[in-house]
Amino acid sequence: MLDPMRNYPQVYLDGIQCFNEGKYFECHELLESLWLEATGIPEVFYQGLIQEAVAIYHLENKNLWGATSLFQLGLEKLAKVPDIFMGLEVRKFERDVKKFFEPYLELKEKSGISIDESRIPKIILRDH
């Protein structure tokens, strides 16, 4: 498991905790502060995580178009990130997010949105 004393910014760890607690808007706010300061791969990584968090937030608020479009944009960003980055197994997270969003991609109306919160992926950081 992750050593919390590793050189990850505390705001990153707090953002991950918010994601895992279902506080997607708060996750977005925390990670955005890092994203705005980042360049290169870290910038793309933070943006991808933010977009996946906001996609779930939109889904919870029955904004199907916003959810599915941000889901796709987030995947495009994460595809540019190494397999393991900042303690996250990125490819596993991508698979988990795809599996979660799969039932919603074919919906045409927001009335069909019913979220099983146990299916929402968690961000698990590992110390490699």
Alpha carbons 78 and 51: distance in angstroms, whole number: 10
Q: What ranges in the chain are assigned the alpha helix state H?
A: 10-20, 24-35, 40-60, 64-78, 90-105
Number of domains forming the structure of the chain: 1
Alpha carbons 60 and 53: distance in angstroms, whole number: 11
For the chain, the first-to-last Cα distance in angstroms comes to 9
On whether residue 69 sits in a domain, the answer given is yes
pLDDT by 10s per residue, the chain, length 128:
444 546 899 999 999 999 999 999 999 999 999 999 999 999 999 999 999 999 999 999 988 889 999 999 999 999 999 999 999 999 999 999 999 988 877 776 655 677 778 888 999 998 65
On whether residue 27 sits in a domain, the answer given is yes
Minimal CA–CA distance to 78: which of 124, 43, 105?
43
State the residue range of the domain holding 95: 10-119
